[in-house]
Chain A
Amino acid sequence: MSDKPIITLSQTKPRRIKQWNRLYGWLRSPVHVIGLVGLLFLAYTIIWPVINILLTTFVWKTQDMRITAETNPGHFTLYHWQRVLASDMSLSLFYKPVLHAGAVAFVVSILSMLLGCGLAWLVTRTDLPFKKAIAFLAVIPYLLPSWVIAQAWLTFFKNDKIGGTPGIWQSLTHMQTPDTLAYGFVPIVISLSIHDSVYFFLLVGAALSSMNTQLEEAASMNGAGRWTIIRQIVFPLMLPAILSGFILTFTRAISSYGVPAILGTPVDFYMISTMLYSSMRARLTTEAHVLSLMLMLISMLMIYWNSQVVGRQRSFVTITGKDNPRTLQSLGRWRKPTALLTIGSMILVSVVPLLILLVQTFMLREGVYSWDNLTLHYWIGGSISDINSGEKGVLQNPIFLLALRNSLLIAAFSAVLAALLGLLLGYAVARGRQTWIGRTVDQVSFLPYLMPGISLSAIYITMFARPHWIIPALYGTVWLIILITVVKELPFTVKAGGAAVMQVGGELEEAAQMNGASWWTRFKRIVLPLNRKSLLSAFLIVFIGAMKETELIIMLVTPRTETLTTLTFAYVEKGYTQLTNVVLMIMISIVILVYALATRYGKADLTTGIGGQ
């Protein structure tokens, strides 16, 4: 009996040492540390907020007192859900906006697919002339906020409905533009499609150009006709790229805010996002949260469906990475007309709107087309009380300078942070593929994708309004906007980072390890330099995204954190057309400049940033 403790001691000691060594070994692996820290960050910035607002939708709030007497603050209720989903308000609050948003998103996805894939095919697979120019023109709409096209549309087709000066069309023809053409479904779909077809163009283009044409030639050797080849060889191989484009477009379109706000609101055409925004403004916070959750649910269903289709296909996406000798499809006598038509329509959608907006900035009064109407007032003028209620010319306006500073600050910081974070988390995902932590990071970092920007910001307002734990109250500072931008872009940057790290074989790092390099040295000397291009692409994507971001931050900005987009948007709402356009012009010049520099000197590539190969 007396020796019993000794036995236990001698038995537990090795076991304890083993557990200790295990833990120590586990924690010493950089993949685990990065993964763990990353998961904590993701849990705090994504999972916790969603759970949090899900819970609040089931609880009575004090504000509810003004709506109903049943209110019992702090207690459980299904009232909010019932109010949104099954009350006399539901039709206008929920069902109509959902229907509108769904229809818009669906039609936009189809249209963008046709436009984007067609263009991608023309550029990668035919002997079309001026390919470089076409590829550049095709990317321009992506460099602009999607609602710039809406704005240009309105300048052209505006009618008397919302007052102010009529659009160019009406001034020239003296015919009233029909409402259906000027506002609502049709122009929303067109504006969004023009903007979103870029995703298809980039994704499908990349897939097409890396696909070996010998696959097609082999089929044609076997006697397959051209249509059979497209249907049986090309389409199945392109399916993953097409589906990712579809999902990207659909989720972006269904939660887009800027375009429906400009083109839908005048005719009471609401989509979920615009409804969400006005609910927030009307202080129906909980109802807005319910709407957010529903929007997320729709996006999730969509992605689930996508993964069902792609999951089975992915196995044979073994498109070789080599630059294959390519046989180009000859367009024959259609070569010139096709080129002309393509370039013509691309100029129409990417250059003409910009020119219209630019010309407008010099017109003292909108819609008056004469030489003496030209002015630089909106650029450099002082305050004149009967023009735009005395708002100064943009370059004179301290608010503009503040917004410019904020925008650059936000875009630069978010881009650097998001690219680095993406690379780090991508590292954990790529190197930890075999471990639970790598897979979890992979899946969780994808969540912001499902979360419509406007929902995320609705959550963040509540979350960061007050200081809590060690986090100060971020609301009202640019840091909140930087944080939300980084989080929202994570799905793209982590995917791009993971794909890039995957290409740097693990042995390159192990070789450094053999030579005694610590993890940090390995990362700095091997991983980082070898991923420079991907890092720069991620930076570019986030920078452009942040510069033109509207949905995500429109609810978060305060007068101190005004950005170029929100300033423009405020001008739009007040009807200060020329000022809007001036700010837009400046913003677009910055984006195009950065894009040109990054692609020219850094060999950055937009495609890798949005999930292409």
Chain B
Amino acid sequence: MSAIELRNVTVNIGSKQVLRGIDLQVEKGEFMTFLGPSGCGKTTLLRTIAGLQQADGGTIVLSGREVANGETAYHLDSSKRGLNLVFQSYALWPHMTVFDNVAFGLRIRRQSKSEIRQKVMAALDKVRISELETRYPGELSGGQQQRVAIARAIVTEPELLLLDEPLSNLDARLRVEMRAELKRLHRELGATIIYVTHDQQEALTLSSRIAVFFEGKIVQVDRPQALYRRPATLRIADFFGSGGMEMNHVDGRILFAGDGSLYLSSPVCSFALEGRLNALPDKGMAVTMTIKPEHIRLQRHFVPGAIACEVDTVFPAGSETTVTVLAGGRLLTVRLLGDADYDRGDTAYLLLREEHLNLYHGDTGELLDGVRPASLSVTNHASNPISYDQNHLLAEVPTR
């Protein structure tokens, strides 16, 4: 039995359709992250699961119990859904102390004084702020407030914990610290957690699975590694590339060699393809090749298969260095560990890690699944990549 089952959930706010048919299944004990750009409907879906927002269509089943049904307009009150929500804004009650904030839910449930005391202190211990019990929210730092909000949500031991961008208001250091705490909490509580963020780093570090949203629709649900390696569309790939991880794009074409084998040809490089080639159309089609900066190696000396390039700009950032280079007239971003001793104008050589190359359909932007470079076939096209001319290449590779 899944912890959450969403079937074709739609939600309208005003005249706008904010959620456009969400299907999703979350297993018990999972740490599921909703990831997507601002305004795509993550908070809305969270609120719909929590019961703070009515579903206009579709059904929501929590632990085998239907809690909302758009067709019959059925809506179970959020207090009866056995879950709790940590708000983006924390929503701590400013007129109550930390203790009273956390004890609120237990008092509603009319538990005994000693029981309340013991549970509240246990919850505060879990988030490591037991010494703050008598303070008011106004006297706490952002990180402490966030812990209170989490303590308040876990004190009633919900089966399902919903967290809406809880780390977005914290500074970078605290954020990293809190990630570790959240991971630990998930382990200790054993509850199903749904976590909303638009920070892909956070999503990758924390989740057991990630659901990517665009404009009210889930476009991909996958494990972090899979999502990182093989984004299902170019758009997802770009979204993952944002924020200091610029994805490299190279437009190219699939060409048929005389011997019936297939080649990818691009201004930067060309190589033979293998895998599920039958699905490809038989005429030359446009594709986009992507590779992440960290999957390109840069070196000073030529080795077979390396691509010549010219160093454009160097951005040192301590532990790593980002270098942009010109290859085949395209600007590529390369990430290197440690310092890099390059200057503008230097000639260098690129090595692409083939297993991290993805090919996308040029028109639809969808991943060409199962199509990959044949091993060791990546070749350098020109000794002077800057004057590289695509027609020259086309003349070289015979078409059918």
- Whether A514 lies near B89 (C-beta < 8 A) is no
Cβ of B152 within 8 Å of any chain A Cβ, yes or no, is: yes
Residues of A within 8 A of B104 (CB): 512, 515, 517, 525
Residues of B within 8 A of A25 (CB): 54, 73, 75
Cβ of A72 within 8 Å of any chain B Cβ, yes or no, is: no
Give A514 to B108 CA distance when docked, in angstroms. 11
B window 48-90: CB within 8 A of A: 50, 52, 54, 71-75, 77-79, 83-85, 87, 89
Residues of B within 8 A of A21 (CB): 72-75
Cβ of A530 within 8 Å of any chain B Cβ, yes or no, is: yes
Q: Which of A18, A507, A510 contacts B72 (CB 8 A)?
A: A18
Residues of A within 8 A of B74 (CB): 21
Cβ of B93 within 8 Å of any chain A Cβ, yes or no, is: yes
Residues of B within 8 A of A37 (CB): none
Give A162 to B14 CA distance when docked, in angstroms. 66
- Whether A515 lies near B105 (C-beta < 8 A) is yes
- Whether B91 lies near A530 (C-beta < 8 A) is no
- Whether A521 lies near B72 (C-beta < 8 A) is no
Residues of A within 8 A of B10 (CB): none
Q: Mark A124-160, 1 if CB is under 8 A from B, else 0.
A: 0000000000000000000000000000000000000
Residues of A within 8 A of B89 (CB): 505, 507
Cβ of A597 within 8 Å of any chain B Cβ, yes or no, is: no
Q: Which of A22, A505, A513, A530 contacts B95 (CB 8 A)?
A: A530
Residue in A21, A22, A513, A515 whose Cβ sees the most chain B Cβ within 10 Å: A515
- Whether A515 lies near B91 (C-beta < 8 A) is no
Residues of B within 8 A of A526 (CB): 93
Give A511 to B137 CA distance when docked, in angstroms. 15
Cβ of A221 within 8 Å of any chain B Cβ, yes or no, is: no
Q: Mark A8-28, 1 if CB is under 8 A from B, else 0.
A: 000000100111011001001
Give A177 to B79 CA distance when docked, in angstroms. 75
- Whether A514 lies near B72 (C-beta < 8 A) is no
Residues of B within 8 A of A332 (CB): none
Cβ of A516 within 8 Å of any chain B Cβ, yes or no, is: yes
Residues of B within 8 A of A512 (CB): 93, 104
Give A515 to B85 CA distance when docked, in angstroms. 9
Residue of A nearest to B88 (CB): A507
Give A434 to B104 CA distance when docked, in angstroms. 29
Contact A510/B105 with A18-B72, A21-B73, A515-B156 known, Cβ cut-off 8 Å: no
Give A516 to B153 CA distance when docked, in angstroms. 11
- Whether A521 lies near B93 (C-beta < 8 A) is no
Give A21 to B69 CA distance when docked, in angstroms. 10
Cβ of A508 within 8 Å of any chain B Cβ, yes or no, is: yes
Cβ of A163 within 8 Å of any chain B Cβ, yes or no, is: no
Cβ of B275 within 8 Å of any chain A Cβ, yes or no, is: no
Give A516 to B14 CA distance when docked, in angstroms. 27
- Whether B72 lies near A17 (C-beta < 8 A) is yes
Cβ of B109 within 8 Å of any chain A Cβ, yes or no, is: yes
- Whether A515 lies near B108 (C-beta < 8 A) is yes
Residues of B within 8 A of A516 (CB): 79, 105, 108-109, 156
Cβ of B94 within 8 Å of any chain A Cβ, yes or no, is: yes
Residue of B nearest to A507 (CB): B91
Residues of B within 8 A of A515 (CB): 79, 84, 104-105, 108, 152, 156
Residue of A nearest to B94 (CB): A530
Residues of A within 8 A of B109 (CB): 516
Q: Which of B52, B72, B73, B93 contacts A513 (CB 8 A)?
A: B52
Q: Which of B14, B91, B153 contacts A510 (CB 8 A)?
A: B91
Give A507 to B108 CA distance when docked, in angstroms. 18
Give A526 to B108 CA distance when docked, in angstroms. 13
- Whether B87 lies near A510 (C-beta < 8 A) is yes
Cβ of A529 within 8 Å of any chain B Cβ, yes or no, is: yes
Q: Which of A18, A514, A525 contacts B73 (CB 8 A)?
A: A18
- Whether A517 lies near B95 (C-beta < 8 A) is no
- Whether B79 lies near A513 (C-beta < 8 A) is yes
Q: Which of A19, A507, A518, A525 contacts B87 (CB 8 A)?
A: A507
Distance between B162 CB and nearest chain A CB, rounded to angstroms: 9
Distance between A278 CB and nearest chain B CB, rounded to angstroms: 53
Residue of B nearest to A517 (CB): B108
Give A530 to B137 CA distance when docked, in angstroms. 14
A window 566-602: CB within 8 A of B: none
A window 282-296: CB within 8 A of B: none
Give A512 to B152 CA distance when docked, in angstroms. 10
Residues of A within 8 A of B78 (CB): 510, 513-514
Give A93 to B43 CA distance when docked, in angstroms. 64
B window 139-177: CB within 8 A of A: 152-153, 156
Residues of A within 8 A of B153 (CB): 514
Distance between A516 CB and nearest chain B CB, rounded to angstroms: 4
Residue of A nearest to B84 (CB): A514
Residue of A nearest to B79 (CB): A516
Give A136 to B74 CA distance when docked, in angstroms. 57
Residues of A within 8 A of B50 (CB): 514
Residue of B nearest to A529 (CB): B95
- Whether A511 lies near B93 (C-beta < 8 A) is yes
- Whether A14 lies near B75 (C-beta < 8 A) is no
Distance between B344 CB and nearest chain A CB, rounded to angstroms: 41
Q: Which of B73, B84, B91 contacts A508 (CB 8 A)?
A: B91
Residues of B within 8 A of A530 (CB): 93-95
A window 503-558: CB within 8 A of B: 505, 507-508, 510-518, 521, 525-526, 529-530
Residues of A within 8 A of B54 (CB): 25
Distance between A12 CB and nearest chain B CB, rounded to angstroms: 13
Residues of B within 8 A of A508 (CB): 91, 93
Residue of A nearest to B14 (CB): A434
A window 9-60: CB within 8 A of B: 14, 17-19, 21-22, 25, 28
Distance between B59 CB and nearest chain A CB, rounded to angstroms: 13
Distance between B60 CB and nearest chain A CB, rounded to angstroms: 14
Residues of B within 8 A of A18 (CB): 71-73
Residues of B within 8 A of A511 (CB): 85, 87, 91-93, 152
Distance between B146 CB and nearest chain A CB, rounded to angstroms: 13
- Whether A517 lies near B79 (C-beta < 8 A) is yes
- Whether A521 lies near B71 (C-beta < 8 A) is no
Give A19 to B73 CA distance when docked, in angstroms. 8
Residue of A nearest to B108 (CB): A516
Residue of B nearest to A19 (CB): B73
- Whether B91 lies near A505 (C-beta < 8 A) is yes
Residues of B within 8 A of A529 (CB): 95
Distance between B98 CB and nearest chain A CB, rounded to angstroms: 14
Residues of A within 8 A of B95 (CB): 529-530
Residue of B nearest to A16 (CB): B72
Distance between B194 CB and nearest chain A CB, rounded to angstroms: 14
Distance between A62 CB and nearest chain B CB, rounded to angstroms: 55
Q: Mark A332-367, 1 if CB is under 8 A from B, else 0.
A: 000000000000000000000000000000000000
Residues of A within 8 A of B94 (CB): 530
Give A22 to B73 CA distance when docked, in angstroms. 6
- 13 A-B residue pairs with Cβ-Cβ distance under 8 Å, sorted by A, are A14-B71, A18-B73, A21-B73, A25-B73, A25-B75, A508-B91, A513-B52, A514-B52, A515-B156, A517-B79, A517-B104, A517-B108, A530-B95
Additional A-B contact list (11), CB under 8 Å, known A507-B91, A515-B108:
A21-B72, A25-B73, A510-B52, A510-B85, A511-B91, A511-B92, A511-B152, A513-B52, A514-B52, A516-B156, A517-B104
Q: Which residues of A contact B (CB under 8 A)?
A: 14, 17-19, 21-22, 25, 28, 434, 505, 507-508, 510-518, 521, 525-526, 529-530
When A and B form their complex, which 7 residue pairs have the shortest distance between CB atoms, in order from nearest? Answer: A515-B105, A507-B91, A21-B73, A516-B79, A511-B91, A22-B73, A516-B108
